[in-house]
C-alpha cells in the first residue's frame, strides 16, 4: 500500500492568513517563531480498507471448522497469533481488519462495572457473517 501523499503550502497563500497570524501571535508558545513564513502541511487521507471477499470466505470456513472441533466456548480468548492462524490470514491483515472494525470483540464479562471485551471465535464468526451478508 502506497504511503499517503503530503503537500505543503505557505500559510500566506491562504485567505485567512491575517486571522491565523493574529491567533498564533497571541499564543506564548509561538513567541520565538517566524509566523509570517509558516508553512502548512496536509496529508492525504488513507483510503478506507476493505477486506477481500476470498479472505472473508476462507476465514468463515476456517472458523466454522474450528468451532465444530473445539465446541462453542464463547469465552475462550484468542491471541492475535492464534486468531490470524485460525482465520488463515496474516497478522498484518488481521490488524487491518481490527482497525477497519471488520471484526468485533465480544463482551466476556464485567469487572467493577468495566466491560471486558476480547476476540473469540464466535464473535469473529458473527462479525464476518454480517459483513458477508451486506
Instruction: Give residue-wise pLDDT tens across range 55-100.
Output: 888 889 988 888 888 776 655 677 788 888 888 889 998 888 888 8
Give the cell for residue 103: 471484526
Q: Are 97 and 127 found together in one domain?
A: yes
Would you state the pLDDT for residue 66? 84
| 1 is a domain residue | no
Would you state the pLDDT for residue 110? 85
Q: Are 79 and 116 found together in one domain?
A: yes
Residue 62's domain spans which residues?
A: 53-133
| 119 is a domain residue | yes
Q: Are 67 and 112 found together in one domain?
A: yes
Would you state the pLDDT for residue 30? 92
Q: Are 67 and 103 found together in one domain?
A: yes
* Residue among 15, 2, 83, 16 nearest 44 (CA): 2
Q: Are 103 and 123 found together in one domain?
A: yes
* Residues 67/122, Cβ–Cβ less than 8 Å: yes
Would you state the pLDDT for residue 72? 66
Count of structural domains, the chain: 2
- Among 49-53, 90-94, 127-131, whose mean pLDDT is lowest? 49-53
Q: Are 32 and 76 found together in one domain?
A: no
Would you state the pLDDT for residue 2? 66
Q: Are 63 and 119 found together in one domain?
A: yes
Would you state the pLDDT for residue 17? 94
| 48 is a domain residue | no
In the DSSP assignment, the letter for residue 107 is E
Q: Are 61 and 110 found together in one domain?
A: yes
pTM of the full structure:
0.57
* Residue among 114, 108, 124 nearest 76 (CA): 108
Amino acid at each position: 500500500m502506497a504511503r499517503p501523499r503530503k503537500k505543503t503550502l505557505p500559510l500566506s497563500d491562504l485567505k485567512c492568513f491575517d486571522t491565523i497570524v493574529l491567533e498564533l501571535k497571541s499564543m506564548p508558545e509561538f513567541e520565538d517563531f517566524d509566523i509570517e513564513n509558516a508553512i502548512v502541511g496536509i496529508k492525504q487521507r488513507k483510503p478506507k480498507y476493505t477486506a477481500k471477499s476470498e479472505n472473508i470466505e476462507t476465514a468463515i470456513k476456517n472458523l466454522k471448522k474450528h468451532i465444530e472441533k473445539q465446541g462453542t466456548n464463547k469465552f475462550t480468548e484468542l491471541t492475535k497469533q492464534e486468531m490470524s492462524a485460525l482465520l488463515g490470514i496474516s497478522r498484518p491483515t488481521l490488524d487491518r481488519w481490527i482497525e477497519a472494525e471488520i471484526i468485533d470483540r465480544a463482551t466476556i464479562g464485567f469487572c467493577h462495572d468495566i466491560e471486558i471485551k476480547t476476540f473469540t471465535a464466535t464473535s469473529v464468526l458473527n462479525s464476518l457473517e454480517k459483513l458477508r451478508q451486506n
